[in-house]
């Protein structure tokens, strides 16, 4: 049985996040030897464009200093936290804060949305991976179609309280593979009682917690902030996470 299959087996049923974290670490260490799981071109494509992030950060800092406004697009209240404040490059270009849209940005032909988080305190530029968002949307469409026909949610084993594996076999569909921007490993999609599909970042969080050596956080802390603070990305299409009995547990955002 190959490494990917082993990880998929571990992901079924109750989330054995520590075991999954170990397996993913082994797989990533083995990459230079095998070189077939994640081709070099894919790793290069998934690398965060750090120079572009720095340039955009400088532009919005200057824009805010001079206008007391952020160059962001309007969004409704129901837009999820990590999809909400997309940067409006037209505003930056129109007033000369930037000379061109970054090629990594969706508006420049890339596969990231540049957005702002902590908009009220310390605005920071982060990336939202469009590929992940689109794949979760694709799975959501499959689930919606099944629910319209059957009236039930295609849920499998419970992985967190109120969250379940998606039963692709029940839908007679091929499983959709999602790759984590944080680890490069395979990431599962999960579904709640209402049929809403999320990307599960539990394994990424467990790996991060193990590296940091932290064992406790305040009850009101959303662990997703740890992913954001330690990388250039946001956990798009995610539930919130709390630390319960030493493991990250998904809760409604």
- Tens digits of residue pLDDT in 235-247: 999 999 999 988 9
What is the C-alpha to C-alpha distance for residues 111 and 114, in angstroms, rounded to an integer? 10
What confidence score (pLDDT) does residue 12 get? 41
What is the C-alpha to C-alpha distance for residues 127 and 216, in angstroms, rounded to an integer? 28
What confidence score (pLDDT) does residue 216 get? 63
**In what helix (H) or strand (E) does residue 138 lie, and over which residues does it extend?**
helix 130-150
Low-confidence ranges of the chain (pLDDT < 50): 1-46
Contact 125, 69 (CB under 8 A): no
Domain ranges of the chain: 131-251
What confidence score (pLDDT) does residue 2 get? 42
Burial class (CB in 10 A: 0-12, 13-18, 19+), 24: buried
Contact 128, 233 (CB under 8 A): yes
What confidence score (pLDDT) does residue 215 get? 60
- Residues 6 or more apart whose Cβ sits within 8 Å of residue 195: 143, 144, 147, 153
**What are the pLDDT digits (tens) for 109-168?**
999 999 999 999 999 999 999 999 999 999 999 999 999 999 999 999 999 999 999 999
User: Which pTM was predicted?
Assistant: 0.80
């Amino acid at each position: 049985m190959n490494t990917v299959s082993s990880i998929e087996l571990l992901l079924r049923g109750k989330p054995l996040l520590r075991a999954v974290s170990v397996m993913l670490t082994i797989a990533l260490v083995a990459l230079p030897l095998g070189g077939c799981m994640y081709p070099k071109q894919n790793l290069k494509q998934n690398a965060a464009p750090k120079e572009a992030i720095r340039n955009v950060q400088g532009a919005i800092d200057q824009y805010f200093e001079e206008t007391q406004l952020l160059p962001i697009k309007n969004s409704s209240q129901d837009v999820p936290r990590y999809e909400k404040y997309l940067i409006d490059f037209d505003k930056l270009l129109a007033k000369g804060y930037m000379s061109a849209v970054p090629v990594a940005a969706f508006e420049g032909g890339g596969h990231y949305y540049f957005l702002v988080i902590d908009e009220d305190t310390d605005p920071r530029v982060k990336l939202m991976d469009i590929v992940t968002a689109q794949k979760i949307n694709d799975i959501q469409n499959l689930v919606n179609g099944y629910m319209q026909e059957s009236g039930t949610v295609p849920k499998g084993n419970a992985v967190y309280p109120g969250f379940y594996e998606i039963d692709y076999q029940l839908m007679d569909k091929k499983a959709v593979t999602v790759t984590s921007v944080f680890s490069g490993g395979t990431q599962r999609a999960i579904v709640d009682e209402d049929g809403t599909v999320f990307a599960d970042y539990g394994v990424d969080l467990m790996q991060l917690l193990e590296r940091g050596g932290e064992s406790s956080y305040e009850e009101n802390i959303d662990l997703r902030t740890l992913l954001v603070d330690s990388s250039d990305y946001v956990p798009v299409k995610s539930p919130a996470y709390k630390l319960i009995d030493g493991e990250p547990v998904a809760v409604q955002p």
